Amino acid sequence: NAGVMQNPRHLVRRRGQEARLRCSPMKGHSHVYWYRQLPEEGLKFMVYLQKENIIDESGMPKERFSAEFPKEGPSILRIQQVVRGDSAAYFCASSPQSGTNTGELFFGEGSRLTVL
């Protein structure tokens, strides 16, 4: 059973470009979470999605950032017009549907964004 898959693992963008990070949850998981970790800092929650729905986006910056989890395909975290301060590791996690809520999140290995 494959774990949470994130790609790309490393992404380099110039200021003003767009970054798209993809996350495929574990098989059978319908909940996806995105976290950001700035260099030498802790993990900060960004957004929580279920299939086709954003449940909680309280940690998402109001501008330039968006997330989706379509009915088919991976979850996408999109950052428009990137700035140097967006350089970070972006981690995706998944969990089964809420009926089996144990609080255990399964994390991917992260996507490391570098903005030049």
Partner 1 sequence: DAKTTQPTSMDCAEGRAANLPCNHSTISGNEYVYWYRQIHSQGPQYIIHGLKNNETNEMASLIITEDRKSSTLILPHATLRDTAVYYCIVRNNNAGNMLTFGGGTRLMVKP
Q: For binding to partner 1 (CB under 8 A), which residues are involved?
A: 4, 31, 33, 35, 42-45, 48, 55-56, 89, 91, 93, 95, 98, 101-110
Tokens coding 9 = 């693992």
Give 17 or 87: the residue with its C-beta nearer to partner 1.
87
- Residue 27: CB minimum distance to partner 1, A: 17
Judged by DSSP in three states, 21 sits in strand
Give 5 or 76: the residue with its C-beta nearer to partner 1.
5
- Residue 108: CB minimum distance to partner 1, A: 5
Residue 76, judged by CB atoms within 10 A of its CB (0-12, 13-18, 19+), counts as middle
Are 77 and 21 a contacting pair, CB within 8 Å? yes
Any residues with CB less than 8 A from the CB of 100 and at least 6 apart, and which?
none
- Residue 112: CB minimum distance to partner 1, A: 8
Give 55 or 116: the residue with its C-beta nearer to partner 1.
55
- Residue 24: CB minimum distance to partner 1, A: 14
Tell me how far the alpha carbon of residue 113 is from its chain's centroid: 12
The one-character DSSP state at 39 is: T
